[in-house]
């Protein structure tokens, strides 16, 4: 079963398999450089799960838990 970025533990690196959402939400995720095939490293998850801090293409970003749930990932190949 596919996992979402929201389920990944800190320290793990994964690859984006598919983006969910639509319209402005999907566009916002893509504007951060998160597209199919890109690698994402989860650096830190706040105690209550929001935000999730990640590294994408050398940039450090914070994602809301709801946004992370829209990003389907798979183990890095």
Domain ranges for the chain = 3-75
d(C-alpha 67, C-alpha 19), whole Å: 10
pTM for this predicted structure: 0.88
Residue holding tokens 């105690």? 47
Q: Is the pLDDT of residue 68 over 70?
A: yes
Higher pLDDT, 1 or 50: 50
- Whether domain 3-75 has CATH 2.30.30.90: the reply is yes
Residue holding tokens 């183990």? 75
According to the model, what pLDDT value does residue 2 have?
75
What are the pLDDT digits (tens) for 5-63?
A: 999 999 999 999 999 988 998 999 999 999 999 999 999 999 886 899 999 999 999 99
According to the model, what pLDDT value does residue 50 have?
85
DSSP structural state of residue 28 = H
């Amino acid at each position: 079963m596919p996992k979402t970025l929201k389920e990944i533990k800190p320290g793990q690196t994964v690859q984006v398999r598919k983006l969910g959402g639509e319209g402005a939400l999907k566009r916002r995720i893509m504007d951060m450089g998160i597209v199919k095939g890109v690698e994402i490293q989860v650096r830190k998850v706040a105690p209550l799960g929001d935000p999730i801090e990640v590294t994408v293409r050398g940039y450090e970003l914070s994602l809301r838990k709801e946004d992370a749930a829209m990003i389907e990932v798979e183990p890095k190949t």
